[in-house]
Structures are given as C-alpha cells and as structure tokens.
C-alpha cells in the first residue's frame, strides 16, 4: 500500500512502485498502466493549462466511465483545480444550476452519448449564463501539451489543512441539488477504509460499472492508487454485456449494489460454467439488499456480499469486512470505518438506548467540509458537529449498523437519489393536476420506483402516465427521475397541519 497527501502525490508514488502494472481495462480491451496514467495526465494537464486553466478554478466534467476520464481527473489534480464531477444522466436543469452555483470556469462534456446531445446542452448553458465559462468537448480525446511548461507544484499540505478539491452534488431532499465539498484527504479516508475492509491486493480486479462521476467512482480511483489493484471499466451497464466483460477480465471484486448483483445472478444462471471463477466478494451499497440475494450469491459464487452505508456528504461510514459472519452480512451494513463516530438519536433529539432505532448521526474523517451553500449547514450538523443523515437505523450487539428507514423524502432508484419535491414541483404545473405527492414504492429490480399520486383539477377528467412523462421531459427532468407509476386519487391525504400522509400512500400503492 502506498500513501500520499494529495491525489497527484499518491499517483506519483504508485507509478514509482508498480509502473507497469495494469491500472484499468475497458470493454473494448483498451488498457492503461500506472505509468501511462502518470505520463498521459502530465500531457493533458499541460494542454489544459495552455488553454488558460489555473489553480483554484472550478472544472465541471460530465464524461462517462472512460479511461480518458481517469486521465482527466489526474490531470486536473496536477493543476490543483477544484473538480466538480456530475453524472452524465443530468440534463439542462441540473447542469445549469450546478455550474452557475459552483462558478465553473470550464465544462467538459462528450459531444453525444447514449443519444443525447451534451455539446448542444453545454453551449446553450454557457450562452444563457453569459459569463466566462468555456466548454470543452471530449470524445475519448483530451488536450495535449508540453509537460515541461507545467508550473512547480505547491508543497502538499497536511490532511487537516487541505483546501477543498472536490464538489459532489447530491439531490438530497430539496428540489435543488446540494454541493458537498470534499478534500483529497476526505476521499482518501474512504478509499483507505474500503480497501482494508475488502482486503484489496495488487492482483485484484474491481468492477467499476457505475458512473465514475459518482463519489464512489472517484473513491475507487484512490483505492486503486493506494492498493495497486486494477479497475474494469464499462461506460454503460448492460445486464448481459457487462458480466461478459467482467468474466473476460477475471473480476475479483464484483460491485456495486443490489441491481448489479441481481444481474450477475441472472447471468450465471444462463451459463453452465462458472462465469466469475476468481470472484471473492461483491461490494455493494446505495440500496437495500434482500437477505435472500446475499444467500443466493454465496451459494452460486461462494463469495460474500460486503455492503456499506454512506452518503455523498460522508461516504462509506460503515462497511462489512471479509471476516464477518454470513448472518451479519445478510441483514447489516457492517461496522463503522476507522475514525467514524456514530450516534443514534430519537426523533426528539435525545440519545437512543442501545439497540433502539433512531436517526443516524455521524462524525468522520471522510465528512465533507460543508455544503457549497453554507446556509444548508445550519440544519445539516448538530451542536457537536455530527452530520444528521436523515436515515433511521440501530446498532446491533456486535456494532453493526442496521438501516430501518429514512426521514428524508428521497426515493433511491438504482442507487441514485430522486428528490420527491423536485418532481412534485414540476408536476403541479401540469394544468390537469390539482394536487400531487411523489413517493417511492418497492421495486425488485430498482430498489424503489418513482410513483406519482395525483388529484385532478377536473374530477371527471383523465390523465395517463405518458402525458405526465412528456410534461416532465419538457421541463428538462432527467430520465432517472421520471415516474414509472401513476395513480389518480380523489384527494391527496393530509393531516390537520396540511402535511401529506405519504405513509398512507405507500401502504396503498406498494403492491
């Protein structure tokens, strides 16, 4: 294992330790060694600097999970900019808000990806904002320059004194995204802890099959540099194609959550031969895991599911360990990572008794520095500096965390947060809708699906799901937030203070 105070320092030390070792391989069998990552990122950093990028600038980038994305991240680290990765599935509304709030100087996008014109969106946003934000279109190619022209790097600061180097946005419970500010040190704390819980070694090959722009994707980059393992990249998850790539490349750590694990099970059942003969663990998180899934994976692959719990604001607070018992793995999210402090509070704010359910609060080395909008910090942290997660849970007698529910009005669909309020705010603008509540209902594949419950302005009128979807698309809502279920009711149930009784709706429409 190697250490470094910054991502760039970490990469330099890894390139010195194992220069010719495989760092990444993609679905097209393109490869990257640690030495190649270092040399390519130096040239890209020089090319970006020649275009006017300077230390401290904010760079928003929206590239898929490509080898070039790894190189871009390292290059931006060399230039000491603030990186703002955003999911490729985000559209005009979110990207416009994010780049404006973050005061981005550069927006990096592909020209087109999965049928969507990112270039046109980015140029329109830049023109609409009317400020000095440039757009760089990158289709598996990055700017090149002379590394000898790069400035000397500043001496890396100690962990506690590091500046913000990352802004990751989460939809949370509000209609607008929230920017969580991280340092290299906070991401490194996550990567180090995850690597140790998974007992990562240089021979490991980990599946990076979800968006690299997610904080979990960047965490895996740090882990790879620390522990020397290779990453298997796919820019899009396909239930048949992706397991085939992982099988070909000898995956040992097959992440990264329930929907992915279900696909691996289905793929194995189609084949007589072992499809993942070298797999030793299934890391996961972001969505509930049925105990039956844990058992099936153990039977078919003889490997455990090692689940974790965290948030963009505080990634992987707890995680299972390779030494944990199967009964622990089936129903818990593991024990707190090194340095993590967890408190469970009753809803009235008082400390919960041992084993009692309550709100999970956390203080940890991987905690964000705070939101980009400091007003959001007021309610986010308690008087002792513990982050209010908004999730409900309890600790068992072995110190494992068991998640029991959520205070936040968030729907977790395939590991991604969907703000119910955001969808509601857009749906209420549909003339046919008089009142609306958006809820998450259980879904065997997605974890939860988005269900819109509406009361119509005309009691004798009708409304169909395609009309709702078309309206939301026209408002710029991304596809992952679109309702998959529509229920029309005479009235939305509310209590005496006017609050929607969403638990009543969930019980009615969960079937």
| Domain regions of the chain by residue span | 7-146+177-236, 305-406, 410-509
**How many C-beta neighbours within 10 Å does residue 5 have?**
17
Q: State the pLDDT confidence band at 174, using cuts at 50, 70 and 90.
A: low
Average pLDDT on 199-218 reads 96
Average pLDDT on 195-208 reads 98
Pair 247, 215: CB distance under 8 Å:
no
Query: Mean pLDDT, the chain, as a whole number?
Result: 93
Structure tokens belonging to residue 461: 């009128």
Q: What is the pLDDT of residue 501?
A: 82
Q: What is the pLDDT of residue 175?
A: 59
> pLDDT tens digits for 319-363?
999 999 999 999 999 999 999 999 999 988 999 999 998 999 999
Average pLDDT on 453-457 reads 94
Pair 349, 328: CB distance under 8 Å:
no
CA distance 207 to 23: 12
> Which DSSP helix (H) or strand (E) runs through 360?
strand 358-363
Q: 229, 232, 222: which is closest to 199 by C-alpha?
A: 229
> pLDDT tens digits for 458-485?
999 999 999 999 999 999 998 889 999 9
pTM, full prediction? 0.86
- Look at 402 and 501; give whichever has higher pLDDT: 402
Q: State the pLDDT confidence band at 445, using cuts at 50, 70 and 90.
A: confident
Q: What is the pLDDT of residue 291?
A: 84
> pLDDT tens digits for 252-268?
999 988 889 989 999 99
pLDDT of residue 22 exceeding 50, the answer is: yes
Q: State the pLDDT confidence band at 251, using cuts at 50, 70 and 90.
A: very high
Q: What is the pLDDT of residue 496?
A: 47
Residue with tokens 């946003």: 125
For residue 344, the Cα-to-chain-centroid distance in whole angstroms is 24
Q: State the pLDDT confidence band at 25, using cuts at 50, 70 and 90.
A: very high
**How many C-beta neighbours within 10 Å does residue 155 have?**
6
Q: What is the pLDDT of residue 347?
A: 81
Q: Which CATH class is domain 410-509?
A: alpha beta
Which residue stretches of 103-183 are H helix? 118-129
Q: State the pLDDT confidence band at 497, using cuts at 50, 70 and 90.
A: very low
Average pLDDT on 390-405 reads 91
> pLDDT tens digits for 281-332?
999 987 677 788 899 999 999 999 999 999 999 999 999 999 999 999 999 9
Pick the range with the lowest mean pLDDT from 62-76, 139-153, 155-169, 182-196: 155-169
- Look at 170 and 278; give whichever has higher pLDDT: 278
CA distance 27 to 36: 18
Q: What is the pLDDT of residue 155?
A: 75
> pLDDT tens digits for 405-437?
777 677 888 878 788 878 988 999 999 998 899
**How many C-beta neighbours within 10 Å does residue 170 have?**
20
Per CATH, the number for 305-406 is 2.30.38.10
Reduce the DSSP state of residue 245 to 3 states and report it.
helix
Per CATH, the number for 7-146+177-236 is 3.40.50.12780
> Which DSSP helix (H) or strand (E) runs through 185?
helix 184-197
pLDDT of residue 159 exceeding 90, the answer is: no
Pairing label, strands 178-182, 166-170:
antiparallel
Q: What is the pLDDT of residue 173?
A: 46
pLDDT of residue 499 exceeding 70, the answer is: no
Q: What is the pLDDT of residue 152?
A: 85
């Amino acid at each position: 294992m190697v250490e470094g105070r910054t991502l760039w320092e970490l990469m330099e030390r890894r390139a010195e330790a194992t220069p010719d070792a495989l760092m990444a391989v993609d679905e097209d069998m393109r490869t990257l060694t640690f030495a190649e990552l270092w040399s390519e990122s130096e040239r890209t950093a020089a090319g970006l600097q020649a275009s006017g990028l300077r230390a401290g600038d904010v760079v928003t980038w929206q590239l898929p999970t490509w080898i070039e994305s790894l190189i871009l991240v390292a290059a931006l680290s060399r230039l000491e900019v603030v990186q703002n990765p955003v999911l490729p599935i985000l559209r005009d509304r979110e990207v416009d808000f994010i780049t404006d709030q973050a005061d981005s100087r550069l927006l990096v996008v592909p020209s087109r990806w999965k049928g969507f014109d990112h270039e046109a969106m980015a140029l329109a946003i830049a023109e609409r904002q009317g400020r000095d934000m440039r757009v760089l279109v990158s289709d598996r190619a990055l700017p090149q320059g002379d590394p000898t022209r790069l400035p000397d790097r500043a001496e890396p600061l100690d962990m506690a004194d590091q500046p913000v180097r990352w802004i990751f946005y989460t939809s949370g419970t509000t209609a607008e995204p929230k920017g969580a500010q991280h340092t290299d040190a906070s991401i490194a704390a996550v990567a180090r802890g995850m690597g140790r819980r998974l007992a990562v070694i240089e021979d490991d090959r980990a599946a990076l099959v979800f968006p690299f722009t997610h904080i979990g994707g960047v965490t895996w980059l740090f882990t790879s540099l620390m522990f020397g393992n290779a990453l298997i990249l796919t820019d899009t998850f396909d239930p048949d194609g992706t397991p085939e790539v992982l099988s070909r490349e000898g995956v040992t750590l097959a992440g990264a959550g329930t929907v992915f694990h279900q696909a691996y099970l289905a793929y194995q059942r189609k084949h007589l031969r072992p499809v993942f003969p070298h797999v030793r663990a299934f890391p996961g998180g972001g969505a509930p895991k049925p105990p039956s899934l844990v058992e099936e994976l153990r039977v078919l692959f003889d490997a455990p599911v090692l689940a974790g719990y965290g948030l963009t604001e505080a990634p992987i607070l707890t995680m299972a360990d390779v030494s944990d018992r199967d009964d622990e793995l089936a129903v818990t999210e593991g024990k707190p990572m090194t340095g993590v402090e967890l408190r469970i509070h009753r809803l009235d704010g008082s400390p919960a008794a041992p084993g009692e359910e309550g709100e999970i609060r956390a203080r940890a080395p991987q905690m964000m520095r705070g939101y980009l909008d400091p007003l959001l910090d007021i309610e986010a942290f308690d008087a002792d500096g513990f982050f209010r997660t908004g999730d409900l849970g309890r600790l068992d007698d072995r110190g494992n965390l068991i998640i029991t529910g959520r205070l936040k009005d968030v729907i977790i669909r395939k590991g991604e947060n969907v703000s119910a309020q955001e969808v509601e705010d857009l749906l209420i603008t549909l003339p046919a809708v008089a009142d609306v509540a958006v809820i998450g209902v259980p879904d065997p594949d997605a974890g939860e699906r988005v269900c819109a419950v509406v009361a119509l302005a005309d009691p004798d009128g009708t409304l169909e799901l395609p009309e709702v979807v078309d309206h939301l698309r026209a408002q710029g809502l991304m596809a992952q937030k679109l309702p998959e279920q529509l229920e029309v009711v005479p009235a939305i149930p509310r209590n005496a203070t006017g609050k929607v009784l969403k638990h009543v709706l969930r019980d009615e429409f969960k079937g």
